[in-house]
Chain A
C-alpha cells in the first residue's frame, strides 16, 4: 500500500463525514439540515459537531429560518468553502498523480 503525506491535505475537510458534507453542499447549497443529515447518514448531534468545525473555518454558514411556522435550518457553502473544496480536490489529484 502506498502511503501519503496527509499533512498536505486540508484537515478541516478531510474527515469522512465533513468530506461528504462538502461534496453534497458543492451541488446543493443551501441544503436543509435534515436533508444533509439524511444524505450523509448521521445523527443530529454528530452533524452539528462537524458543521461547527466547518463553520469555524468559515467554509459553511448556518441560517436559522422558518418554512411557514416550522423552524428550518439551512446550511450554505460559503465562497471560502467552495474555494477550499476545489483546492482540496486539486491537492488530492496531485497526490494521487504523484503516487502513480
Chain B
C-alpha cells in the first residue's frame, strides 16, 4: 500500500462522510404547512380584532383550535411523505427534527401559561406573548439546523425570525401586529420551507 493509495482512500471516505454531513434537509414541508396555517390564523385573528368581519372576539379561540386540529392532521400526512425520502437519519435532519420538536413543546408551555393567566387574572396579553416568543424560538431552530448541517443560507431566516420576535415584543398589544406576524410566517417559515423542498432528494441518488 502506498501513501498515494491511502490518501485516495481517505479522500473517498471524506467525500462520503461529507455527503452525510451536508445532506439536503427534508423537513421543508413541515415549515410550509405551519407557515401557511399560521399566516391564515394570524390574518383571521387580525380581521376579527379590527372588526373587519362580523365575528365575536371569542371566535379567536375557535380559530386556534382549528389550527391545532389541522396541524395534527397535517403532521400525520407529512410524516408519511418525509419517511419516504432518503437522508432522514443524517445528523442535520435528526437535529432539525428534534429541535423543532423541542420548539413545539416550548410553545405549548407558553400557550398553556398564557391561557391560564388569561383565565385567572384576565390578562389577555397572552396571545401576543405567544407570538413574540414563538418567533424567537423559530430563530433558534433555524439557526441550529443551519449550523448542524452547514446550511449557512438558513441563518438569514433565523436572524429575520429574531428581528421579528423583537418587533413583536416591542409593540406588544397592537392589533396590527397580527398582520405583521402573518407576513413574517411567510418570510421565515414558508420561504425557507419551499427552498428546502426544492433541494430535497426525490429518491436515493
Contact = CB atoms under 8 A, between A and B. Distances in A.
A interface: dominant SS: helix
Contacts of A3: 1-2
Size range of the interface on A? 20 to 34
Contact of B87 (A4, A19, A28, A68): A28
Nearest to B8: A16
Contacts of B9: 14, 16, 19
A96 B3 contact: yes
Contacts of B153: none
B121 interface: no
Interface string A21-43: 01110111111101100111000
Contact of A23 (B7, B13, B91): B13
Please indicate which of the listed interface residues A1, A34, A35, A92 has the most CB atoms of chain B within 10 Å of its own CB: A35
A64 interface: no
Interface in B1-34: 1-4, 6-7, 9-10, 12-14, 16-21, 23
A28 B18 CA distance: 10
B10 A31 contact: no
Interface in A42-100: 67-68, 92, 95-96, 99
Contact of A27 (B17, B80, B86, B204): B17
B84 interface: yes
A3 B86 CA distance: 40
A23 B14 contact: yes
Given A28-B87, A32-B86, A39 B19 contact: yes
Given A28-B23, A92-B10, A95-B6, A35 B86 contact: yes
Q: What 8 pairs between A and B have smallest CB-CB spacing? A: A27-B20, A23-B13, A28-B20, A23-B16, A1-B2, A23-B17, A24-B16, A38-B204
Interface of B: 1-4, 6-7, 9-10, 12-14, 16-21, 23, 80, 83-84, 86-87, 89-91, 204-205
9 contacts: A1-B3, A2-B2, A4-B2, A24-B19, A27-B18, A34-B204, A35-B87, A67-B84, A68-B83
